[in-house]
Chain A
């Protein structure tokens, strides 16, 4: 049985203290970078690279993701002074990542997805690619949240804190997305 929407909405407020702590770190780091501390930006990168990686993985070919992550952080480094509220670094860089993914598809890169033969005979990896493809075909609202949860291993509250989405909406997206994914996986063997 899945939780109803009301149940999901009432239980989503718990990790407020954790969110506040992370926000405080962001504020300190952004301030340090704006005062010329490059190491501060490396810390921000370590904190937020999984988020950006997950957002891109839900949208662009796997082979392009690592280069795009680097590009996005360099762009953020140059434009950090335009961020008005330092506590919103996460939602800000998430938005940059989403926009960059849209730009990627607009430019229509000639990309070739590496098939199993080229990648090697790793069945675990090929199955992962298949499931990722299923997730990419889900509605956009569920894609990102599921990848961040199942691929990057982030919890629901972490996803909410870093993307700037509200905890209830993340919770709803997770459960509805998971329900759709289970339906899709019903047609796959071995799961």
Chain B
């Protein structure tokens, strides 16, 4: 079959293809030696394994350190216990024929004894134990901060009042300047 000759040079040869092969064969590759310069570096596959191993070891060390630190800090600062007191049962109102004066005063539920929800995620602040001298200093500092806050509040209210009392007529008068 002629098509086989074109495909793999088997079968009945096609004279036209043979003629083309003969003519075009003059352009065929003529073997020439490849000249590789001596100074041309030999291509080598880069080995990344040592670097990967070092990176992996470092990562593991960092992870282990992180876990160790977190467990250590958890052990040092024990969790604050939530104070749980059973809620006082709501007083049962009894309908009594007695007048209002003789009624026992209605008992308000003690808000201080409510269940205190402790946020576990809140950062734990250890209550420092202060000496008497340190305690006095802390109180004085607190007083100073309070005075400073009061002064600031006063000044802010003064500024607020001044801004409230500005004459709107002036604004209208100066409107041409603003554009």
A-B contact number at CB 8 A: 105
Judge whether A151 and B31 touch: CB under 8 Å.
Answer: no
Give Cα A15–Cα B8 distance, bound, in whole angstroms. 10
B29's contact among A53, A73, A191, by CB below 8 Å, is which? A53
Give Cα A55–Cα B35 distance, bound, in whole angstroms. 21
Give Cα A35–Cα B44 distance, bound, in whole angstroms. 7
Chain A nearest CB, measured from B46 CB (Å): 6
Give Cα A41–Cα B44 distance, bound, in whole angstroms. 13
Give Cα A155–Cα B28 distance, bound, in whole angstroms. 14
Judge whether B16 and A182 touch: CB under 8 Å.
Answer: yes
Contact digits for A35-53, partner B, Cβ 8 Å, 1 yes 0 no: 1101001100110011001
Residues A78 and B29 in contact in the complex (CB < 8 Å), given A2-B3, A127-B23, A156-B8: no
Chain B nearest CB, measured from A123 CB (Å): 10
Judge whether B7 and A81 touch: CB under 8 Å.
Answer: no
Judge whether B44 and A81 touch: CB under 8 Å.
Answer: yes
Judge whether A128 and B45 touch: CB under 8 Å.
Answer: no
Judge whether B25 and A155 touch: CB under 8 Å.
Answer: no
Judge whether A74 and B40 touch: CB under 8 Å.
Answer: yes
Give Cα A54–Cα B25 distance, bound, in whole angstroms. 11
Judge whether B20 and A66 touch: CB under 8 Å.
Answer: no
A50's contact among B9, B24, B29, B45, by CB below 8 Å, is which? B29
Judge whether B6 and A191 touch: CB under 8 Å.
Answer: no
Judge whether B36 and A74 touch: CB under 8 Å.
Answer: yes
Give Cα A7–Cα B16 distance, bound, in whole angstroms. 22
Give Cα A38–Cα B24 distance, bound, in whole angstroms. 33
Which residues of B are found within 8 Å of A36, using beta-carbon distances? 42, 44
Interface size class of A (residues with CB under 8 A): 35 or more
Contact digits for B16-38, partner A, Cβ 8 Å, 1 yes 0 no: 11011101111111011111110
Which residues of A are found within 8 Å of B42, using beta-carbon distances? 33, 36, 38
Judge whether A49 and B43 touch: CB under 8 Å.
Answer: no
Q: Is the interface of B mostly helix, strand, loop or mixed?
A: loop
Which residues of A are found within 8 Å of B21, using beta-carbon distances? 150, 153
Query: Quick check: is A178 within 8 A (CB to CB) of the other chain?
Result: yes
Give Cα A69–Cα B45 distance, bound, in whole angstroms. 24
Judge whether B3 and A3 touch: CB under 8 Å.
Answer: yes
Judge whether A152 and B29 touch: CB under 8 Å.
Answer: yes
Which residues of A are found within 8 Å of B41, using beta-carbon distances? 78
Judge whether A81 and B45 touch: CB under 8 Å.
Answer: yes
A131's contact among B3, B20, B29, B35, by CB below 8 Å, is which? B20
Residues of A150-166 whose CB lies within 8 A of B: 150-153, 155-157
Residues A132 and B35 in contact in the complex (CB < 8 Å), given A3-B3, A175-B6, A191-B19: no
Which residues of B are found within 8 Å of A42, using beta-carbon distances? 33-34, 36
Q: B interface vs A, CB < 8 Å?
A: 3, 6-9, 16-17, 19-21, 23-29, 31-37, 40-46
Can you list 15 residue pairs at the A/B interface with Cβ under 8 Å? A42-B34, A46-B31, A49-B32, A66-B32, A70-B32, A70-B35, A74-B36, A74-B37, A128-B23, A153-B25, A155-B9, A157-B7, A178-B6, A178-B17, A181-B20
Q: A interface vs B, CB < 8 Å?
A: 2-3, 7-8, 11, 14-15, 33-36, 38, 41-42, 45-46, 49-50, 53-54, 57, 62, 66, 69-70, 73-74, 77-81, 124-125, 127-129, 131-132, 149-153, 155-157, 171, 174-175, 178, 181-182, 185, 191
The 4 closest A-B pairs by CB, nearest first: A53-B29, A80-B43, A156-B7, A45-B34
